[in-house]
Amino acid sequence: MATISSIGSGSGLPVESIISKLVAVEQQPITDLQGRTDTLKTQISAYGKIQSAFSAMRDAASKLSTPANWAALTATSSDTTMATVTAGSGSGAGSYTVSVGQLASAQSVVSQATSSTAPVGAGTMTIELGQWGTGTPPSFTSKSGATAVNITVSATDTLASVRDKINSSSSGVLASVVTDATGSRLVVRSAATGEVNGFRISTADADGNNGDASGLSALAYDPSASISSMTQNAAAQDAKVKINNIDIVSSTNTIENAVDGLSINILKKGDLTVTVGQDKDSIKKNITDFVTAYNSLMNLLRDNTKYDQTSKAAGALQGDSTAVNLQSQLRNITSGGSTLGGSYARLADLGLNIGTAGTITVDDTKLSSALGHVSDLKQLFMGVDSTNAANNGIATKWRALADQVTGMDGAITTRTAGLQSRVTSNNKRVDELTDRSASYEKRLRAQYTALDTQMAKLNDMSSYVSKITSMLNSSS
């Protein structure tokens, strides 16, 4: 009997092609399910983008429904070369005259010129912060809370190494070495401005004389002990300013809270005017930022729900009732209004016009004019009607809608969970159908293998009969 080498060889049928086509028919439901699953995943992705856009819109609406953002103030200086100003929380709107009589400065002393490589002399330097008084010699009052710092100087230390030791000592002063044609000098200055941040430097000189100008004592400065080996080239002093003719003294050149919430950074002496008023630019930016976020959301919803007649293509959420309802709710809030806004009842009253696509365009001239009535704008956007929530300010309603639809039980969360559940169900069904298809293919191969065997036997028998018949015919 003939041996079957491959399926179909016994019967002569194109078995592999037959099986392939039969299995393909069996697997068609799998292909259909996978296509529907891909569509569901596209819808889930679209809802993810919509949720993100809703969150961005919610954040922008929050800025328009937060009282502090409507109370923001701005300050201007009549001469920014003389002083710059910043208005903070609590600033009072108004105009202030400012007269700068004296700037705050740090004390600075400089040594005599010497070689940069020569040792300065061994001993101990003591640096102490405090305030210099008047008189001859001047008095020195140690700064409260500060402690004198001792610095050990070796016989091999130069100006540069002394500088480094001073700067690493946390003594409240900074040192540098300045070199010119005459030699190198040690310059020591207060780390902070103000009279209380003056300093004196005393020395315990290894040569036994702490008051001469040689050895380490050449770097001493203590007029209270009649020692001035170093020369003072700038005295520690406070800033002295008059604000509305009231004397203000500050250890720094930044005058903080002399007027509530107002910061004045003085740069030079002279007179100027500081004006504090409502920060209309920041309010306008919050409004236009919201328009951008809102339009982005509306465009996203429109693109995902529309049907393009030209391309014959439908958006991922075309016909989806949840997405269509979200569009409707947004349009209703935006086209609605509130009686709380005084002279402004609707967005169009302040130059925010709603187009046919549901997006907002800004009439800059009209909006700028409306900013002259900030209190009315504030109420239109963030007012709360305790008796009728539908009459709340528009930003308040926008924010409430965004909180609702993106919440744990919100429309977007619920719809996304429903779509994901269908994806999970489809995937489970695909696994079941895949197993069934594999079993079906296995049965087909077994059946066609059995057919091949039978056909091979029949072919062998037919061949045998033919031979016998031929032999009989030949004998006759």
The stretch 400-410 carries a mean pLDDT of 91
pLDDT tens, position by position, 23-66? 888 888 888 888 888 888 989 999 999 999 999 999 999 999 99
Query: DSSP assignment of 422-473, as one string?
Result: HHHHHHHHHHHHHHHHHHHHHHHHHHHHHHHHHHHHHHHHHHHHHHHHHHHH
Buried b (16+ CB within 10 A) or exposed e, 2-41: eeeeebbebbeeebeeebeeeeeebbeebeebeeebeebe
Does residue 460 have a pLDDT over 80? no
**pLDDT reported for residue 8:** 55
Q: How many CB atoms neighbour CB 267 within 10 A?
A: 15
Segment among 41-55, 78-92, 175-189, 357-371 with least mean pLDDT = 78-92
Which of 334, 266, 346, 348 lies closest to 298 in space, CA to CA? 334
At 2, the pLDDT band (50, 70, 90 cuts) reads: very low
Please give the C-alpha separations between residue 23 and each of 6, 28, 94, 297, 441, in angstroms, as whole numbers.
19, 9, 85, 46, 6
Percent of the chain exceeding pLDDT 70 equals 96
Please determine, for residue 3, whether its predicted confidence score (pLDDT) is greater than 70: no
pLDDT the model gives residue 5: 46
Strands (E), 52-122: 73-77, 83-87, 94-102, 108-110
What residues does 276 pair with on adjacent strands?
75, 94
Q: Parse the chain into domains and list their residue ranges.
A: 1-72+280-466, 73-104+239-278, 108-234
Q: In angstroms, rounded to a whole number, what is the distance separating the alpha carbons of residues 283 and 183?
A: 59
User: With 80 as the cut, is the pLDDT of residue 463 above it?
Assistant: no
Q: Which residue has the tokens 């976020």?
A: 293
Q: Which helix (H) or strand (E) holds 325?
A: helix 321-335
Q: What angle do CA 61, 62, 65 make, to 5 degrees?
A: 90
| Whether pLDDT at 1 is above 50 | no
Q: Is the pLDDT of residue 474 over 90?
A: no
Rounded alpha-carbon distances, angstroms, from residue 332 to 30, 215, 335, 336, 434: 43, 87, 5, 6, 48
Tell me what the mean pLDDT of segment 87-115 comes to. Answer: 90
- Looking at residue 442, its pLDDT comes to 87
Whole-number Å distance between alpha carbons of 158 and 120: 5
Predicted pLDDT of residue 94: 86
Residue 11: pLDDT over 70: no
Q: Work out the pLDDT band at 159, boundaries 50, 70, 90.
A: very high
Using the predicted structure, report yes or no on whether residue 391 has a pLDDT greater than 80.
Answer: yes
| 128 close to 200: Cβ distance less than 8 angstroms | yes
Q: Which two tokens stand for residue 317?
A: 């959420």
Please count the residues of the chain: 476
Reply yes or no: is the peptide bond before residue 119 cis, omega within 30 of 0.
no
| CB-count exposure of residue 469 (10 Å: 0-12, 13-18, 19+) | exposed
Specify the amino acid at residue 315.
Answer: G
- Mean pLDDT across the stretch 249-271? 92
The model's pTM is 0.68
Mean pLDDT score of the chain, rounded to an integer? 90
What percentage of the chain exceeds 90 in pLDDT? 65
pLDDT band at 19 (very low <50, low <70, confident <90, very high): confident
- Binned at pLDDT 50, 70 and 90, residue 4 comes out as very low
Please determine, for residue 307, whether its predicted confidence score (pLDDT) is greater than 60: yes
* 113-117 long-range Cβ contacts below 8 angstroms, 24+ apart: 113/180, 113/182, 113/183, 113/184, 113/185, 114/159, 114/183, 114/184, 114/185, 114/218, 115/183, 115/184, 116/158, 116/159, 116/160, 116/177, 116/179, 116/183, 116/184, 117/158
Q: What average pLDDT does this structure show over 446-450?
A: 80
Query: What 8-state DSSP symbol labels residue 105?
Result: B
